[in-house]
Amino acid sequence: MTAYKDCGGKGTDRNSGGSVTMVYTISQQVNNVDKSERSYCVWKDILLAVLVNLPFFTHGIETTYLTTSAQSGHFIGHNGTQWTTTAMVAGAGVAAPVFCYIADSHGRMSGVFLVSMVQGISLVPHFLLNKRNIYYVEIILHILAGISSGGLFTVLPIYLREITSLRGFSVPLLMVMTTAGYMTKMVAKEVRLYLMLALVMVQFLSMLVMVESPSYLVMVKKFERARKNLSKLIRVPEDNPSVSKQISNLKDESDKAKANGKLGVCTVWRNKIWLDGTKVGITLYTVTAICGSILFLDQQKTLMQLKVSADPENTLVLYTLFAGSVFSWICCMFVDRKYLLTASYVTMTVSTGVLAVYTQADLTVTSLRWLPVTALGILVFAYGIAWGLPIAVMVEIYNFEIRATLIGAIYLYSQIIKLLHVHTFQYIEDYVGVYTTFYIFAGINIFGVVYTLFAVPNVRNKSVRQIERQLKRPALPA
């Protein structure tokens, strides 16, 4: 069922293969509604998306203090120790399934609240640390940042997926918010600290205008409240036929998921469609974790053969990563995420190959010195496009009954892979050299190109049922 609506409260329904989507269309009813009122409704959706994404900006600001980030083992800078990196990655991996369990048992809003609460708690050691660089306080900061990121990159995208009709705008916005937070590295530390404090306060206040996900309320059989919240989100009266139709479709989706018995991580083995979706998630998260970001986000190491003074602020990496995230966010409104991922992996493969040539140990770069710098900029730009798209893809694939459980499990897996990668990378680099590791990463990105192009489903403007049809395995011939 596809619901067509305007902001004046009128709605019509048309059958579309049982799918549930909310879109704005040009109809006679819409033409009769004042244009400024329709624009106001769209801006309310945009404002809600920005408010829900604010914790990603806070996380980006906090990361500028730390020795690691959500995307890489070493990004902002490192001091040779592995404990801080381990603390953050392990904290994120352990926290993600816990946040997802809370989101399933107590509501999506509970998970959103806990993320902001952990970010608020982390301000205490930040203020205690000040300029003294106390090591155990740094460990605590990384653990808290890891815990909050475990909820950030699981519960918040799920919540955004379930409350907004502007999914192409809202979910990929997390990439822009996170990298915009990284850009605050150019600002004084004291300013960043107080900016974090202000943002956490705004995050708590913004929850006053948020409502619980209708999908979760249907999951726990609170249908009247689900109807009420859905009417608020799409801004039509509760007795509007479009509300009834969408609630009915959510019930059908819930019943379909529960048809095979009690839901849990092991349920995926009984449902081949969910199993195939999980394989997509595992592959995309793995490729993203080991695509080479641990190396090429270290600008000094990547350009070491140029024999020039390194950029102490890593402005090339910061600016191109942010630019790539903005480009990805804009394109997600018009292009399917599958093709964006494919294009970014192709670009990363070519750029990584160029850097592999220019980082050979016995090569002194005397000409075309602009080429490796340009290749690094393009590589980080492409990575800025790609790093958050697996999250944006996976929140679309699963039925809402199992969405949080499986995304939490996949995120835990991704952090295990990242932890292994961080702790083994230096040994591999010492054994084969920097340029050989670039060739290895180029091979990984080539695999990402092929897999994404042929195995990842189209998700743009698709309902869960439409995506499941793409994942459904064809019957074998008799």
CA 475/CA 94 separation, integer angstroms: 39
- Owning domain of residue 397: 265-471
Is 22 a domain residue? no
Give the pLDDT score at 21.
39
Examine residue 220 and state whether it is found in any structural domain, yes or no: no
On whether the CB atoms of residues 416 and 89 are closer than 8 A, the answer is no
Same domain, 191 and 282: no
**Which among 284, 291, 262, 261 has a CA at the least distance from the CA of 410?**
284
Claim to verify: residue 458 and residue 336 sit in the same structural domain: yes
Q: Which residues contact 337 (CB under 8 A, 6 or more apart)?
A: 172, 389, 392, 393, 459, 460
Question: Quick one: DSSP state of residue 12?
Answer: E
One domain, residues 451 and 362: yes
Which of 210, 225, 253 is the C-terminal boundary of a domain?
210
Domain-located, residue 14: no
- Based on the fold, state whether residues 57 and 203 are members of the same structural domain: yes
How do residues 430-464 score in pLDDT, each as one tens digit?
Answer: 888 888 899 999 999 999 999 999 999 999 988 88
Which residues make beta-bridge pairs with 21?
2
Domains of the chain: total: 2
Q: What are phi and psi of 160, to 5 degrees?
A: -60, -40
> Measured between alpha carbons, how far is residue 34 from residues 38, 40, 41, 165, 240 in Å?
7, 10, 11, 21, 20
Q: Is 211 left (phi over 0), alpha (psi -120 to 50) or beta?
A: beta
Find out whether 63 and 75 touch, Cβ atoms under 8 Å.
yes
Q: What is the distance between the alpha carbons of residues 472 and 20, in angstroms, rounded to a whole number?
A: 19
Q: Please tell me whether residues 204 and 308 are part of one structural domain.
A: no
Side-chain half-sphere exposure of 396, counting CA atoms within 13 A: 30
Q: Is residue 16 part of a domain?
A: no
Both 132 and 46 in one domain: the answer is: yes
Residue 235 domain-assigned (yes or no) = no
Give the residue ranges of the chain where pLDDT is below 70: 1-41, 67-82, 129-133, 260-262, 264-265, 305-314, 361-368, 473-478
Residues 186 and 271 in one domain: no
State the helix-helix crossing angle for 434-455 and 400-432, rounded to 10 degrees: 150
Q: What is the CATH number of the domain that holds 130?
A: 1.20.1250.20
In a domain, 257, yes or no: no
Residues β-bridged to residue 12: 4
Q: Are 174 and 157 in contact (CB under 8 A)?
A: yes
Same domain for 273 and 154, yes or no, is no
> Dmax over Cα atoms in the chain, in whole Å?
74
Whether 8 is covered by a domain: the verdict is no
Same domain flag for 166 and 275: no
Same domain as 184, residue 52: yes
Residue where the block lists tokens 């800025």: 384
pTM for this entry: 0.86
